Chains A and B, each alone.
Chain A
Amino acid sequence: MVRYLLGRLAQAALTLLLVSAAVFAGLRAMPGDPAVLLAGEDPDPETVAQIRAELGLDRPVPVQYLVWLGRMARLDFGESVRTGLPVSDTLLTRLPVTLELALLSLLVAAVVGVLAGVAAAVRQGRPTDWAANAGALLGLSVPNFWLGLMGVLLFAVVLGWLPASGYVPPSESLTGNLAGMLMPALVLGTGLAAVVMRQTRSSMIEVLGSDYIRTARAKGLSPARVVLVHGLRNSMVTVLTILGLQLGALISGAVVTEQIFVLAGFGNLMVESVFTRDLPVVQAAVLVTAAGYVLVNLAVDVCYSLVDPRIRIQGGRS
């Protein structure tokens, strides 16, 4: 178990290192010499050299990388070009919005996806299965930003039931917060629920056909117990994996969803910064999402070992 976790930890650290190197290389690959750009119009070589020394650009690239990595590790992302505020402060104000959106969508996806997947697997080939599959297919085929637009059109513009946009902090009004978040979370959760449903269904079908399920039935257990205790626990590993891997899609989806519902979140910040060429913010946002992705998937791997004793004891997956 310890060996397994240490191995995973080392892999995650290596991945993070690769991620940071990629971001650093991307910034270096930008056209134009930053020192020349900063020196203003018609610079004399001395000023450029001085700026270059100040920025550390005269040092070898590996050293520059290590210095940069050190700053990033200390969450020192510099200041926003546009607002002049420290980037880390900006991130901290924007993150809660996105985290709330992501967690609510994940909740929607997990609950709807797992329930529909189990129901479809148990009633394989019958109307329930058919309906769940059709729903999942639609969920996969309808882009969430268009679903969002249609949701706004129907519930906000035509019916006026829900606010079309805006974020109310839960500290101000919990109901207002949830009313504002309901549509974004449903919209973002739908596509994910479709993926989770399909995965749950296929892994449940496989599990339900396995010998130990036959054993459980032969023991005289109730169908509910067979499916929910013996079956679901075994397909949880696959479902957990898919949730971890779908985090990327969730983050991407969050960016557009925030754009549509005008939520001042993390994704919104990223898109704004691209258009204002606010590079320190883009760099920090990219790094933070990538790191978040790696850490969440590390957490998923730890969860595996809790769900599946074969990993806990032997320290490896087949």
Chain B
Amino acid sequence: MTATATPARRLLRNPAGAFGLALTVLLVGAGLLAPLAAPHDPAAVGFDRLYAPPSWASPLGTDELGRDQLSRILYGLRASVLIGVAAVLMAAAVAVPLGLAAGYYRRVVDPVVSRLNDAVMAFPFLVLAVGLAAILGPSPVNAAVAIGVSQVPNILRVMRGEALRLSGEQFVDAAVAGGAGDAAVLFRHILPNAANALLVQVTVGIPAAIIAEAMLSFLGLGVQPPTPSLGVMLSSAQSTFAQAPWLAVFPGVALVLLTLGFNLLGDGLRDALDPKGAQR
């Protein structure tokens, strides 16, 4: 029997997973540290340098108001990460208890939760965001709520499935036979065993939420200009395609790298946490 490596070590040993982790840490870090890392004030307007192509002073060029694009991208990453992570964590806070309860109390809770879940899924996140914006007006918070709500069904489905699977395991029967109450069974025996699946689902949910945020901001339903956001930047770049293509390229590249990092990390985690991989 060979020694079994820990999941963390297996993740780092997988080149794609390690690269994903590095990319995620780098871009999330750059975003969170944007106030320190940005070379310029993202709001500083300069009419002497409108649409400046990349140069030493502004490595990624400047926009229609002469603002430094690199600095705006860093702040944009910050907004993307914060909204994306907040939306997914909100979703998890709702979906985890509901999903566990639905999978465990199959007769009473499951039918109710499952129908509600179906109803939520019937609203694509953009439609939900459109509805919220129509009622409450467009704002980053409303965008985050819409994204969060649309992430609930995915996490809920995974947690319900895990609770359903685990409640059929004999160790749950053994715990019940040993006098464990419902709370002990759910939180001590089922949740820890469902934690891996939750972690993976959250890790793949975040890039989806980040893309969703960018999409909403692009449409004008999320972060509002002049606050820097990757979606807003791409939206305004649309009209100046021909003269300043770098304004459409770089924010998109930043977005792709950020989501790619999370997706690679998610895949790496999935493999590293797979019990079948543990024996290898």
- Judge: A and B partners, yes or no: yes
Chain A residues close to B by CB (< 8 Å) = 11, 14-16, 18-19, 22-23, 26-27, 29-30, 137-138, 140-143, 145-146, 149-150, 152-153, 157, 245, 247-252, 255-256, 259-260, 267, 270-271, 273-275, 277, 279, 282, 285-286, 289-291, 293-294
CB-CB under 8 A from A138, the residues of chain B are 260
Q: A26-B135, A270-B130, A274-B130 are in contact. Are A286 and B221 (CB under 8 A)?
A: no
Contact partner, A146, options B124, B133, B138, B256, Cβ 8 Å: B256
- Nearest 4 Cβ contacts at the A-B interface: A252-B126, A248-B124, A18-B119, A146-B252
**Are B115 and A286 within 8 A (Cβ)?**
no
**Are A149 and B125 within 8 A (Cβ)?**
no
Q: What separation, in Å, do the CA atoms of A30 and B133 have in the docked complex?
A: 11
Residue B267 CB within 8 A of the other chain: yes
**Are A19 and B122 within 8 A (Cβ)?**
yes
Q: What separation, in Å, do the CA atoms of A60 and B145 have in the docked complex?
A: 30
Q: A29-B135, A137-B264, A145-B215 are in contact. Are A286 and B118 (CB under 8 A)?
A: no
Q: What separation, in Å, do the CA atoms of A145 and B230 have in the docked complex?
A: 12
CB-CB under 8 A from B130, the residues of chain A are 255, 270-271, 274, 282, 285-286
**Are B238 and A149 within 8 A (Cβ)?**
yes
**Are B119 and A251 within 8 A (Cβ)?**
no
CB-CB under 8 A from B214, the residues of chain A are 143, 145-146
Stretch from B62-70, B90-98, B187-195, B242-250 that touches the partner: B242-250
Residue B241 CB within 8 A of the other chain: yes
Contact partner, A294, options B118, B135, B256, Cβ 8 Å: B118
Contact partner, A256, options B207, B219, B252, Cβ 8 Å: B219
Residue B116 CB within 8 A of the other chain: yes
Minimal beta-carbon separation of B214 from chain A (angstroms)? 6
Residue B89 CB within 8 A of the other chain: no
Contact partner, B121, options A245, A256, A282, Cβ 8 Å: A245
**Are B218 and A145 within 8 A (Cβ)?**
yes
CB-CB under 8 A from B220, the residues of chain A are 271, 275
